[in-house]
Amino acid sequence: MNVQTREQEYFFPKDRLLVSKTDNRGIIMYANEAFITIAGYKEEELIGKPHNLVRHPDMPKMIFKMLWSRLNAGSEINAYVKNRCKDGGYYWVLANVTPSRDVSGKTIGFHSTRRNPSAEALAVIKPLYAQLLDAERSGGITRSEALLERILEEKGVGYEEFVVSL
């Protein structure tokens, strides 16, 4: 996808949570006021659209592959995400994405709650994502997955442990 970006970072208050809910395929069903405001879209431009509407091209593909594989396995995932605003600017979040279930336990969609990431965490994540993106450009997703695996192995931690430790 060829999308326009620009070097304009946006921030949101530390006590604000950016929330969205999707159906099983990642179609946006709900977005809270804070999410709508920073994304720069009107509510009706978001609802009914695939969530990759806010995807930033600086995000490694493997992060989303991992997100979907964990969600489809019934697990939650925490991930740092750089999102694109309607005007091409961006903002960073730490997202907690979980399956939403009905009373019978069937997954009926997904829920993302995004908070403000710390500067210390982003100082680790930005160069890591740049490396993963480079790996993807030269060797596809297989190479970025192998790279992340090697980096985590060297640190002796699993992905989730790594993310929450930052």
Ligand X SMILES: Cc1cc2nc3c(=O)[nH]c(=O)nc-3n(C[C@H](O)[C@H](O)[C@H](O)COP(=O)(O)O)c2cc1C
Footprint of ligand X on this chain (CB under 6 A)? Answer: 20, 22, 26, 51-52, 54-55, 59, 61, 64, 67, 71, 81, 83, 97, 110-112
Closer Cβ to ligand X, 96 or 157, answer by number: 96
Nearer of residues 141 and 166 to ligand X, judged by Cβ: 141
How far is 159 from 148, CA to CA, in rounded Å?
Answer: 9
The residues, ordered by sequence, that sit 6+ positions from 117 with a Cβ below 8 Å of its Cβ are 80, 92, 93, 94, 125
> In 3D, which of 62, 119, 117, 66 has the Cα closest to residue 94?
117
Closer Cβ to ligand X, 57 or 139, answer by number: 57
**For tokens 């995004």, what's the residue?**
114
How far apart CA 111 and CA 19 sit, in angstroms, is 7
Nearest to ligand X of 22, 144 (CB atom): 22
